[in-house]
Chain A
Amino acid sequence: MVALALAAMLWMARHTASYDDNRAPFTVHGTLGETVRGRDFAVTVEKVELARALRLDAGDGDPPRRRDTYGVWLVAHLRVEALQQPLRFQRAELHTPDGYYYEADDRRVDMDYRLGGVEIVPGLPQRGVVAFEIPRDKLAGTVLEASPDRYRIAPDSVAVIDLGLTRDRVDGLLRDMPESLLLVSRYASR
Chain B
Amino acid sequence: MKRTFIALLLLVALPALSHAQSQPSSNLVSGLGDVCGVYPHSSIPLTFSAATALTQQIALASGKAIYVCGIAFVTPATSTLQLEYGTGTNCGTGTTALSGVYQASSTVITGASNTLMVTPVGQALCAVTTGATGQANGWLSYVQF
Asked if A and B are interacting partners, one says no
B interface residue numbers (CB < 8 A to A) = none
A interface residue numbers (CB < 8 A to B) = none
